[in-house]
Structure 1
Amino acid sequence: MVEQVRTREGRRRAAGAVLAALLCAAGCSAPADGAPDTTAREIRATLDRRAAAVLHHDAAAYAAVVDPDATALRSAQRRELARLADVPLGSWTYRLTGLSAHGGDRATADVRLGYRIDGYDSAPVSVDRIVDLARDPADGRWYITADRPADGSTRQLWEQGDVEAVRGAHSLVLGVGRSRDELDAIAGTADEAVSAVSAAWPERWAGRVVVLVPDSVREMGRLLGSPASNYRGIAAVTTGETGGSGKSPADRVIVNPEAYALLGDFGRRVVLTHETTHVATRTRTSSATPTWLSEGFADWAAYRDQERTAGEIAPEMAEAVRSGDGPSALPEDEDFAFAGEAGRLAKAYEGGWLACELIVDHWGEEKLFAFYRAVGGHQGRDGAVEDALHEVLGTTPQDFTARWRVYLRNRLG
């Protein structure tokens, strides 16, 4: 029985150079919330020392900016830095975005942590934190007394445990609580996925992917800031910011180790190829792109060279068509909700895939690529698909939908 796969898209520098870069970045930040320039400047200096300690894996310096009386926090900070030891960091900065003073020797800072993985990220990943600080009257310096995620901010992988890094030819796999053999296998499959996507997507892209493998689906949910129940049947998802600027923050493919382990080699290749397609097409995907197109295209790339029939790839849709209960319209965005009914979700993915298959079969691959670019390049969702259908395919939404319904019957009936 064919598996039904469902997925969701010189490091060491001289110390002086690192500190100079960090201080420059901090110096460019405006005082926050009307806080006194001196207080803001001193707190930035504390944060800059902490950032430099991370880049140099200097545990003593990392703990040195923590209040000496906060012994539990000091121990936790040392453990956190140790967990980062295998992560190839290219940058780590803090930007002060807000500051509330409590008297002359206490303050709460809103901080944006930005970090970049060396060789993989074209722009930093940003994480909002809240940091409490106290001034030591003896030396006049500010020390951290508490550090926690801001409301709505997600957890990071290293907050879950020791991170082990495995480098593939075109991938970096970062895992917590997983065996080395498991991570090696994922890196090998991710490398295959990168090659498959490069063959399917005609534009230049980074040609590499970062894969995160948490210890459990519960920890996966924490990385994504959503309940674990949303992902129990989902083998992997991709995070990232859509847009055509080419400067979007880094994508991460996050694997659900529990669902992924249930798949065979074929299923795992499809999952990681699908997710890697989202990475490759990110700059051509925007808020104007309907989910049926972004997910359908990712499935099209994943199944493109696989020897499977349409009925094997789209069993839920095949059953609906054969029973006379085929869809009357293309899937809506809400049909792709992870928390929704499983059969509805499966049919949404299958419907999107078959829409892309229709374009390729009737108009050709180049037209599919042009259509994807045209939709994503539209100024907004309204009219995006309609205009692209007219300009690229020479058809209308009504005609395309009618063709798609006939195509479903021909391929699946």
Structure 2
Amino acid sequence: MALFRSPTRAVAAALCCAALLLAGCGPAGDRATGQGRPGDPVVRQLLERRADAVLDRDEKAYLADVTPARRAAERQVFHNLEELPLASWSYRLVSTEGTDPATVRVQLRYRLGGYDSAPVTTDESLLLRADGAGHWRVAGDGDPGGLLWEQGALHVVRGSHSLVLGTGDRAVLAGYATDADQAVPQVRRAWGGKGWTGRVVLEVPSSLRRMGQLLDAPAQTYADVAAVTTGEAGGSGTAPAGRVIVNPEAFAGLSAFGRQVVLTHETTHVATRAATTSRTPLWLSEGFADWVAYRDSGRPAASLAPELRRDVIASGPPGHLPADAGFAPGAPGQAQAYEGAWLACRLIADTWGADRLVALYRSGADPHGTLGIGEDALTARWRAYVKGELG
């Protein structure tokens, strides 16, 4: 399952931008403006100082602009950020609202070296308070727990092709890295190396509730979802690597085969990010991800598409390829939509070859130009294929 957002809400953290502070510069530098809220120059300089502190691993500088009451929480955040292979970290000020405390809304951009081909972008907000001397300091987070490194002590496990970030047991996180390391070569073999780094980043919160905070959505929306992929989609070739966000509660109930399928599916979404556009139907993006995940399983269609098989036996194959709405969490017939999408991609690979299936995806889902038939003819072939495999 993929969640494409711009900017993505899946990952981010403390603060930043790019640097400049004139020490002891007086009111224009780091004092309140006297108008009830900090002026933009004051806020920008505060963000710049904290950005420098993150990149320089300078805890003292990082905590200098934090209120005493907030210091313990920010110290943990700083130690968590020290664990990350940060290649860049910057902020753009969006707005400042309110008086004391003032809410500062910013856009965070950061890149993990070796994993992100371009910076990940996310929205963030901070609460600022003025102290007795008129200096504005960070007093809180406008979205507490919305970033993984704000959810407790962070552990980082590096695999051969993966980076796993989590707040739980390190040994459990190592298991995720092992599964992800098996998924990446499968995806590379199917998709190739164009448009992604050949690595995947997993975020593993401690609970479903914490997952909901990361996704800025009601947790129960994802109660039956083992993992989702977030990130920016678009054919520019500069889309960053997505983040695979794991639901530890659902994931724990999967078999070894199920775990491998989930992580291969989600890693496929990461790999195809740059080629996924608004023209890409979900039957192709979700079906392709399942095709990659099931490709070497050796399991028959009837065992991998039980819900659709039951419908086909009862009333025949569906009349059309799965619509986008059918893939939404909790949608009626969601399982049938995924199973039908997988069989559509399997049909294309079986009939025209795996390379043509990849070409169809990269072309923006143009069956006439890629397969030599129109969508109606493809649908008719798919219906016959579904009946033959499941009827």
| TM-score, reference length from structure 2 | 0.86
Whole-Å Cα distance in 1 between the matches of residues 17 and 359 of structure 2?
A: 45
**Contact 1:122/1:250 (<8 A) preserved:** yes
Worse-matched range after superposition: 219-228 or 38-47: 38-47
- The one-letter code sitting in structure 2 at the alignment partner of 1:82 is H
- Quote the residue 1:144 is aligned against: 138
Of the three residues 59, 68, 71, the one matched with 1:71 is: 68
Is the counterpart of residue 209 in structure 1 residue 200 in structure 2?
yes
Distance in 1 (alpha carbons) for counterparts of 2:278 and 2:42: 41
CA displacement at 1:222 relative to structure 2? 1.2
| Partners of 2:205 and 2:211 within 8 A in 1 | yes
1:40 match: 40
Residue 116 of structure 2 is aligned to residue 121 of structure 1: yes
Shift of 1:107: 5.5
1:291 equivalent to 2:282? Answer yes
1:396 counterpart = 2:386: no
Count of aligned residue pairs for this structure pair: 363
Pick from 232, 241, 244 the counterpart of residue 223 of structure 2.
232
2:11 corresponds to: none
The alignment-based identity, stated in percent, is 51
- Pick from 365, 385, 406 the counterpart of residue 354 of structure 2: 365
> Is the 8 Å Cα contact of residues 292 and 332 (structure 1) preserved in structure 2?
yes
Instruction: Name the CA distance, whole Å, in 1 between partners of 2:152 and 2:390.
Output: 47
Distance 1:75 1:411, change over 3 A: same
Equivalent residues of 1:229, 1:339 under 8 A apart: no
Query: Are 2:90 and 1:112 equivalent residues in the alignment?
Result: no
2:355 & 2:123 partners in 1: Cα distance? 41
User: Counterpart of 2:182 in structure 1: which amino acid?
Assistant: E
Q: 1:263 to 1:8 in 2, by over 3 A?
A: farther
- Give the secondary structure class of the aligned counterpart of 1:323: helix
Cα offset, 1:136, TM superposition: 5.9
CA deviation map 1:360-388 (0-9, x unaligned): 1222222211211112xxxxxxxxx5xx1
Match of 1:288, SS state, is coil
Classify 1:92/1:323 alpha carbon distance in 2 versus 1 (closer, same or farther; 3 Å): same
- What residue identity is the alignment partner of 1:265? A
Matched residue, 2:26:
none
Retained in 1: the 8 A contact 2:18–2:48? no
Residue of structure 1 aligned with 2:126, choices 125, 131, 146: 131
- Alpha-carbon displacement from aligned partner over 1:15-34 (angstroms, at most 9, x marks no partner): xxxx995349xxxxxxxxxx
Report the Cα distance in structure 2 between the residues aligned to 1:401 and 1:368, rounded to whole angstroms.
Answer: 15
Match of 1:183 among 137, 156, 173: 173
How far off its partner does 1:186 sit? Answer: 0.9
How do residues 10-409 of structure 1 correspond to structure 2 at under 5 angstroms? 21-23=18-20, 39-66=39-66, 70-99=67-96, 108-134=103-129, 138=133, 141-149=135-143, 155-177=146-168, 179-204=169-194, 205-341=196-332, 344-375=333-364, 385=365, 388-409=366-387
Is this contact kept in 1: 2:200–2:241, CA < 8 A? Answer: no
Distance 1:111 1:20, change over 3 A: closer
Give secondary structure in 2 for the equivalent of 1:165.
Answer: strand
Question: CA, structure 1 residues 106+173, in 2 after alignment: closer, same or farther (shift >3 Å)?
Answer: closer
Gaps of 5+ in 2: 4-15, 22-34
Q: Deviations over 1:239-279 (max 9, x none)?
A: 11111112123310111111111112111111111110111
Tell me if the contact between 2:145 and 2:210 (Cα under 8 Å) persists in the aligned partners: no
Q: Answer whether contact 2:213 2:219 (CA < 8 A) is retained.
A: yes
Once the 2 structures are TM-superposed, how far is the Cα of residue 113 of structure 1 from its aligned partner? 2.1
User: Is the partner of 2:125 in helix, strand or coil?
Assistant: strand
Determine helix, strand or coil for the equivalent of 1:83. Answer: helix
- C-alpha distance 362-233 of structure 1, shift in aligned 2 (>3 A): same
> SS of the counterpart of 2:142?
strand
Q: 1:167 to 1:313 in 2, by over 3 A?
A: same
Question: Over aligned residues, Cα RMSD in angstroms?
Answer: 2.5
So what's the TM-score if we normalise by structure 1? 0.81
1:291-339 residue CA offsets vs partner (Å, 9 max, x unmatched): 1100000011111111101111111111111223431111111100112
Dislocated runs of 4+, deviation >6 Å: none
Other structure's SS at 2:82 match: coil
- For structure 1, the 5+ residue unaligned runs are 1-6, 10-18, 25-34, 376-384
